[in-house]
Amino acid sequence: MVNFLVDLKDPVIKGYLINLVGEEGFKVVKNMPDGEVTDEKIAEATGVLLNIVRRTLFILYENRLAVYRRERDSDSGWLTYLWQLDLSSLNHQLELESKKLLKNLKTKLEFEENKVFYICEKEDGRFLFETAAELEFICPICGGDLKYQETEPAIKALKQRIFQLEEMTSSASV
């Protein structure tokens, strides 16, 4: 199987993979031997525990980033799984993740724009107006006053992040 060249040092790709399989799993991806190889050989080559290698391979397989082939030993009847990375769909996976993130950011923006918040003066909590009113504008954690929180900075930051993400996703799909 031919692998597309993927820059594992790219912070977006590295971040995605670490989020997907963890730091130890990323070591598996980064140091995976070429060609079809058993999980035992991968553990040996990467220095990662076999159970973590197996977990990583399963997650990669579920996300269409690894493939395997089974071979049956004619003498013993045992099945051997030969694994290989297939990062050809990585860009598609990243696009799906960015669309999901974009949707979540837009939902958060709408929430921030349509609600009024109060925050504890000691920053013990943040409350919707309705909850703050029920609490008589007293923090239930420390007893301090709840003060009106200006949401414009958060709204501005969310809009900026949405704009950046839309720019990235539109330029990536061109």
Domain membership of residue 2 (yes or no) is: no
pLDDT at site 172: 57
**Is 27 in the same domain as 73?**
yes
Name the domain boundary from 20, 50, 85.
85
Domain membership of residue 79 (yes or no) is: yes
How does the average pLDDT of the chain come out, rounded?
Answer: 91
% pLDDT > 90, the chain: 75
**Is 79 in the same domain as 112?**
no
Q: Which domain holds residue 63?
A: 11-85
Confidence of residue 96 (pLDDT cuts 50, 70, 90): confident
**Is 106 in the same domain as 81?**
no
**Is 76 in the same domain as 105?**
no
Torsional class of 47: left (φ above 0), alpha (ψ -120 to 50), beta (otherwise): left
Number of folded domains that form the chain = 2
% pLDDT > 70, the chain: 95
Overall average pLDDT of the 96-110 stretch: 93
pLDDT at site 168: 75
**Is 25 in the same domain as 73?**
yes
Domain membership of residue 148 (yes or no) is: yes
Give me the CATH number covering residue 80: 1.10.10.10
**Is 79 in the same domain as 16?**
yes
Does the pLDDT at position 174 exceed 50? no
Does the pLDDT at position 2 exceed 50? no
Confidence of residue 56 (pLDDT cuts 50, 70, 90): very high
Confidence of residue 91 (pLDDT cuts 50, 70, 90): confident
Domain membership of residue 153 (yes or no) is: yes
**Is 47 in the same domain as 108?**
no
**Is 115 in the same domain as 148?**
yes
Report how far residue 162's alpha carbon sits from residue 103's, in angstroms, rounded to the nearest whole number.
9
**Is 128 in the same domain as 159?**
yes
Domain membership of residue 119 (yes or no) is: yes
Confidence of residue 59 (pLDDT cuts 50, 70, 90): very high
What are the backbone angles phi and psi of residue 78, rounded to the nearest 5°? -70, 145
Does the pLDDT at position 22 exceed 90? yes
Sign of the alpha-carbon torsion through 88, 94, 99, 103: positive
- Whether the CB-CB separation of 63 and 141 falls below 8 Å is answered with no
pLDDT at site 1: 47
**Is 131 in the same domain as 66?**
no
Q: What is the pLDDT of residues 140-169, one digit of tens each?
A: 999 999 999 999 999 999 999 999 888 877
